[in-house]
A and B are shown apart, each in its own frame.
Chain A
């Protein structure tokens, strides 16, 4: 959650690293499963919810989330560029080419594999307001090709450098040989 939260606040695309299933710190990721997903939603989505603690604060206090904060920061910076110095952690412009860079460490030697090959296809729609982030994510998930998801999960970039000749990395167009392992 924390990674997503601060990445969104910085108006940046999170770096995606593929690993080899080796956990660095142990344990289960914080946002795993339905409970983790809902936890993420609460912190990221720009919904307005009532303060749940009666008596602690008045009921009319609303909590704004990461997307709302980001939209506000970016809109302020467009109005007054000097404010960019006040919020150096927010990038008002984004290099689209960096959106598709994926990385993985090699397993059997000291090296790093990096590629900008699109792994999940083209995004069908790109919005302008961060508050729409979750809605666009759901829309994207609906139209995504199942074989693309399969390759992304089982023939990920880390497969290219796992030291096992039988496995391989596949981009998102490998529909024909999908049963070939």
Chain B
């Protein structure tokens, strides 16, 4: 299942620093529990290294976080 929850438009910059994060807190219920949420990042090529080195995590309770992998990188 794939559902567009919300579109985030943001520019990752080459000046990103360790420890910086962007968190999306979805307040509506997501059914079924094993539903997938896909995040698509459109970034300039100069920011690709930042994306590759970023850690992706999700959580349903804000305490226990599951690490997610960056699956695909497409180039235009």
Interface size on B, residues (CB 8 A): 22
* Distance of A170 Cα from B12 Cα, bound (Å): 8
* Distance of A40 Cα from B43 Cα, bound (Å): 41
Interface residues of B in 1-29 (CB under 8 A from A): 5-11, 13-17, 19-28
Q: B5 to chain A: which residues have CB within 8 Å?
A: 109, 111
Closest CB-CB distance, A9 to chain B, in whole Å?
29
Q: B23 to chain A: which residues have CB within 8 Å?
A: 113-115
- In the complex, which residue of chain B has the Cβ closest to the Cβ of A172? B15
Q: B26 to chain A: which residues have CB within 8 Å?
A: 109-111
- In the complex, which residue of chain B has the Cβ closest to the Cβ of A106? B6
* Distance of A81 Cα from B16 Cα, bound (Å): 39
Q: Are B20 and A168 in contact (CB under 8 A)?
A: no
Q: Does A117 contact B (CB under 8 A)?
A: yes
Q: Are B9 and A167 in contact (CB under 8 A)?
A: yes
Interface residues of A in 147-174 (CB under 8 A from B): 159-161, 163-165, 167-171, 173-174
Contact of B11 among A109, A163, A165, A171 (CB under 8 A): A171
